[in-house]
Amino acid sequence: MNSQKQNSPKKPHSDFAKYGSMATYMAVIITAGTLGGRWLDNHVPLTPKVPVYTIVLSLVSVFAALWYFIRDFLKKS
């Protein structure tokens, strides 16, 4: 009797790649929201000294990125 361990089939994506891609998506979402807010602050004169659009869109993009992460994490678990 030959007791060789059978290798379990490899996952197509490792955990590092899965979470790395999720972090990249989060960074892209937050960056796009912040840059969009800066663009709006430069082109729509609401208040000259307070970057309202940048603050609002960056916060919205952070919550959107967290929502994406949690939804994707629960789906893949």
What pTM did the predictor assign? 0.72
pLDDT tens-digit readout, 47-69: 668 889 999 999 999 999 999 98
Instruction: Quote the pLDDT of residue 63.
Output: 96
**Domain span holding position 49:** 15-76
Please indicate, yes or no, if residue 46 is contained in any of the structural domains.
yes
Instruction: Quote the pLDDT of residue 2.
Output: 53
Please indicate, yes or no, if residue 40 is contained in any of the structural domains.
yes
Please indicate, yes or no, if residue 5 is contained in any of the structural domains.
no
Please indicate, yes or no, if residue 2 is contained in any of the structural domains.
no
Please indicate, yes or no, if residue 3 is contained in any of the structural domains.
no
More confident residue, 4 or 73: 73
Whether the per-residue pLDDT at 34 is higher than 80: the answer is yes
Total of domains in the chain: 1
**Per-position DSSP letters for the chain, written without gaps between them:** ---PPPPPPPPSS-HHHHHHHHHHHHHHHHHHHHHHHHHHHHHS-S-SSS-HHHHHHHHHHHHHHHHHHHHHHHHH-
Please indicate, yes or no, if residue 49 is contained in any of the structural domains.
yes
Distance CA 52, CA 46 (A): 8
Average pLDDT, rounded, for the chain = 82
List the structure tokens of 50: 């307070």
Please indicate, yes or no, if residue 43 is contained in any of the structural domains.
yes
List the structure tokens of 70: 């949690």
